[in-house]
Amino acid sequence: MPPILTSPQSEEYAPFYADYIQRAQARGDILTALPQQIEEIQAALGTLTDEQALFRDAPKEWSIKEVMGHLNDVERVFSYRLLRVSRNDPTPLPGFEQNDYVREAGYDQYLIIDLIQEFEYLRRANILAISNMRQESTLRHGTASGYTVSARALIHMMVGHVDHHMASLQEKYLPPLKQSMA
């Protein structure tokens, strides 16, 4: 039986993750939101050509491919943190520099469809892990980036992070791209 994922308290995550938590809470059922986001990404980005996915809304901003690659990076980082925290591992986990990760990955050379499929596989693996997690495991706390974090907060952060970037894509990237295609 899947765990019941109640909303985390503010002391279960760093203040800079509050937006992600709020976005996830707005979804309601987190276990439903996790697979829905796969479909939402596929619907929003799945028909883009590789050339279109190189679009960036400003010169120093990430391209759509880089945003998608970043979603994959963070899905991996959050899922690793979730594994460690839910398994009661007390070892503090370091932060990471997202801009360095994106720059070093070279995501503009990837196929957009591969980036979307990679997200699907990562997320489906996480859904299986979360669905089989014991209730008490979701309430465990660890340390990441120098802050206390709970397993349930990490699950909410996964959902909220994707929603944060999808909102940016829907507001800033996709409208001008669609206008240029018309």
Q: How does residue 177 score in pLDDT terms, banded at 50, 70 and 90?
A: confident
Which two tokens mark 27? Answer: 């979804």
Q: What is the pLDDT of residues 118-161, one digit of tens each?
A: 999 999 999 999 999 999 999 999 999 999 999 999 999 999 99
Q: What angle do CA 79, 85, 89 make, to 5 degrees?
A: 125
Tokens 């690793």 belong to 80
Name the CATH superfamily, with its identifier, for domain 10-175: dinb family like domain (1.20.120.450)
Compute the average pLDDT of residues 13-18: 97
Instruction: Dump pLDDT digits (tens) for 103-124.
Output: 999 999 999 999 999 999 999 9
31-89: per-residue pLDDT in tens?
Answer: 999 999 999 999 999 999 999 999 999 999 999 999 999 999 999 999 999 999 999 99
pLDDT at position 182 over 70: no
Q: What is the 3-state secondary structure (H, E, C) of 100-115?
A: HHHHHHCHHHCCHHHH
Between CA 113 and CA 53 the distance in angstroms is 10
Q: What pLDDT is recorded for position 180?
A: 78
Domain spans in the chain, listed from the N-terminal domain onward? 10-175
